[in-house]
Structure 1
Amino acid sequence: MRYLCAVYLEPKSMEKLSPAEGATLDRDSIAYDDELRRSGHYIVSDALQRATTAKTLRVRNGKLSVTDGPFAETKEQLGGFILVEASNMDEAVELASKIPMAKYGTIEVRPIMDLSSKSKS
Structure 2
Amino acid sequence: MKFALLYQYDPTQTGPADDEVQDWLEFDKQVRDAGAFVYEAGFHGVDAARRVTVRDGVSAAEGVSGRPGEVIAGLYVVDVADLDAATALAEQLPTARYGAVEVREVVDYAG
Superposition TM-score, scaled by structure 2 size: 0.88
Gaps spanning 5+ residues in structure 2: where?
A: none
Partner of 1:54: 49
Segments ≥4 residues shifted beyond 3 Å: none
Q: Percent identity?
A: 24
Question: How far off is 1:42 after superposition?
Answer: 1.0
- Comparing 86-95 with 43-52, greater Cα deviation is found at 43-52
CA-based RMSD of the aligned residues comes to 1.7
Q: 1:29 aligns with which of 24, 32, 53?
A: 24
Higher helix share: 1
Q: CA deviation at 1:114?
A: 1.1
CA contact (8 A) 1:3 1:92 kept: yes
Corresponding position: 1:91 with 2:85:
yes
Question: Which aligned pairs between 1:1-121 and structure 2 lie closer than 5 A?
Answer: 1-12=1-12, 13-14=14-15, 21-22=17-18, 24-60=19-55, 63-70=57-64, 72-117=66-111
3-state SS in 2 of match to 1:56: strand
In 2, the alpha carbon distance for the partners of 1:30 and 1:75 equals: 27
Q: How far is 1:55 from its partner? A: 0.4
TM-score, normalised by the number of residues in structure 1: 0.81
Deviations 1:51-107 (A, max 9, x none): 12110113446x432111226422111111111111010111011111111111100
**Cα distance, 1:53–1:85 mapped onto 2, change above 3 Å:** same
Q: Which runs of 5+ in 1 are unaligned?
A: none
Q: Is the 8 A contact 1:52 1:69 kept in 2?
A: yes
| Partners of 1:29 and 1:101 within 8 A in 2 | no
May I ask how many residue pairs the two structures share in their alignment? 110
* SS state at 1:115 partner: coil
Q: Counterpart amino acid of 1:64?
A: V
